Amino acid sequence: MKQYILALDQGTTSSRAILFDPNANIVQVAQKEFTQIYPQPGWVEHSPDEIFDSQAHVMHECMRRAKVCGNELAAIGITNQRETTIVWEKATGAPIYNAIVWQDRRTASFCDQLRADGKAKIIQDKTGLVLDAYFSGSKIRWILDNVPGARARAEAGELLFGTVDTWLVWNFSKRGVHVTDPSNASRTLLFNIHTGQWDDELLAILDVPREMLPEVAPSSSVMAQTHPEFFGRSVPIAGIAGDQQAATYGNGCMKEGMAKNTYGTGCFLLLNTGTTPPVSQNNMLATVAWQTARGYSYALEGSVFVAGAVVQWLRDGLGIIKDSSELEGLAATVPDNGGVYMVPAFVGMGAPYWDQYARGTIVGLTRGTTKGHIARAAIEAIALQTLDIIDAMQKDTGIKLTTLRVDGGASRNNMLMQFQADLTGVVVERPTITETTALGAAYLAGLAVGFWESEEVIARKWKLDRRFTPTMPADRKEKMLYHWHRAIERAAHWIE
Ligand code: G3P
């Protein structure tokens, strides 16, 4: 009987399920967008039940369309939007509050307080992270302090915390298993990336009871079985990784020195730094890439909060395009940006600025500015944000990046990819499969159950679709950078 691996990719705006065959070809895909909840400016929530229901729905839809049944599944791999925080009742599985999404800024002032109390260094030393509302720790604390009775119940062991991977496994195992992997744990502010353990000192700083935390299992290992209700039999859940780490694996960056950039809701550039945790002096994050039977791999990460989301905003907020695919054509109606720069700091700025109070801006508007210029400025902003990351990473490592692998929805945009190569002077390589997030989760699961025999076999499956080489003259690039950084200054600290 033919066997497959099913990858569940629970992202910020949609749940997806992708079925892969032994050659790592996509057999079938199903996808469903779900509700974004914005209760106040700067707050972003999801319904945990909708997250699970949409994920279960696309899982069944994908299997139905592919005419594949549970017996043909060798394993399931899960990958997820990271940091997003869910707290639920152990006894009933009912969430006590909506999921607080990674983009949510409500805990910014609490993070400022921790910084004023001198906690930023110890947090960075142990977790590799910059102290910011982005990560789960301050969000858990907010839920415990704001939902009546929650703190006492958490201390009594009645409540559980999980990132989205943990929430999905808990539900697919019918409340049997409470587990995460180190790539997700390393985004909580509570996990010591040097010891591979939840850390008591960090738990005390963030005021989070240890009783709530999941067990941490290797990213590539059988950590649970689905309840028979889902496929008529149990299927092993054998891979978990945060979506950016999974994309790094799926884009074949298993070796030290290889880097990928994913153009999704945000833009996340990860550089594989091998088996020792990196230390950043330039506001990059040190993070666990994954844990396989070979042990831990680490990465340096530059996280840009808004990339593809700016395209959604042009569609849903401004209404200047009806479909994301129209953006490239609209931008091509003008020869250049006409002096217009957009800083899409809708939820503050991530790396390397880490400004929780920045907000978006468009500068350089004139009577001659058209929709085309705005579209072009949006595309350029995505690449310019990535340039800032590459510069900081090169300062951190002293290594000049020569090649950048790309993936994610917006990597299909040729204008963006060419512009990315031009600006950075780095060769940009796009693989044939840009669904690397799901593919990475599938690989990790397949590796654990022997579906694929080794990492080397997996790495050899990577295939080039198109290479973009830099062509932009240096003086034009310098001029753009100058204006870009002036625009950044205008967006900075806007709501302070
Ligand atoms: O850290 C947030 C990241 O995991 C979200 O990824 O693909 O949902 O934008 P994505």
Condensed to tens digits (0 to 9), the pLDDT of residues 405-430 reads 999 988 998 999 999 999 999 999 99
If one compares 126 and 312, the residue with the highest pLDDT of the two is 126
Length of the chain: 496
What DSSP string describes 243-272? HHHHHHHHTT--STT-EEEEESSSEEEEEE
Q: Does the C-beta of 136 come closer than 6 Å to ligand 1? A: no
The DSSP H or E segment spanning 479 is helix 474-491
161 to 11, 181, 283, 385, 438: CA distances (angstroms): 19, 14, 28, 32, 24
> What is the token pair recorded at 444?
């990790």
Distance, CA of 204 to CA of 328 (rounded, Å): 49
Does residue 293 contact residue 218 with C-beta atoms inside 8 Å?
A: yes
Residues β-bridged to residue 162: 86
Among 350, 347, 375, residue whose Cα is nearest residue 359: 347
Among 28, 12, 160, 171, residue whose Cα is nearest residue 79: 12
Largest CA-CA distance found in the chain, in angstroms, rounded: 65
Q: Does the C-beta of 380 come closer than 6 Å to ligand 1? A: no
Q: Band the pLDDT of 324: cuts 50, 70, 90.
A: confident
107 to 13, 98, 420: CA distances (angstroms): 22, 15, 33
310 C-alpha to ligand 1 centroid (Å): 14
HSE-up of residue 103 (Cα within 13 Å, Cβ side): 26
State the sign of the Cα–Cα–Cα–Cα dihedral 329, 332, 333, 334: positive
393 C-alpha to ligand 1 centroid (Å): 20
Condensed to tens digits (0 to 9), the pLDDT of residues 161-170 reads 999 999 999 9
If one compares 343 and 264, the residue with the highest pLDDT of the two is 343
Condensed to tens digits (0 to 9), the pLDDT of residues 176-220 reads 899 999 999 999 999 999 999 999 999 999 999 999 999 999 999
Q: pTM score, two decimals?
A: 0.92
Condensed to tens digits (0 to 9), the pLDDT of residues 421-465 reads 999 999 999 999 989 999 999 999 999 999 999 999 999 999 999
Question: Which pLDDT score, from 0 to 100, does residue 495 have?
Answer: 86
Distance, CA of 101 to CA of 56 (rounded, Å): 20
> What is the token pair recorded at 254?
């298993």
355 to 38, 95, 495: CA distances (angstroms): 20, 31, 10
Q: Could you list the beta-strand ranges (E) of 83-131.
A: 86-89, 99-100
243 C-alpha to ligand 1 centroid (Å): 6
Q: Does the C-beta of 102 come closer than 6 Å to ligand 1? A: yes
Q: Does the C-beta of 163 come closer than 6 Å to ligand 1? A: no
Q: Does the C-beta of 81 come closer than 6 Å to ligand 1? A: yes
Distance, CA of 103 to CA of 101 (rounded, Å): 5
Q: Does the C-beta of 244 come closer than 6 Å to ligand 1? A: yes
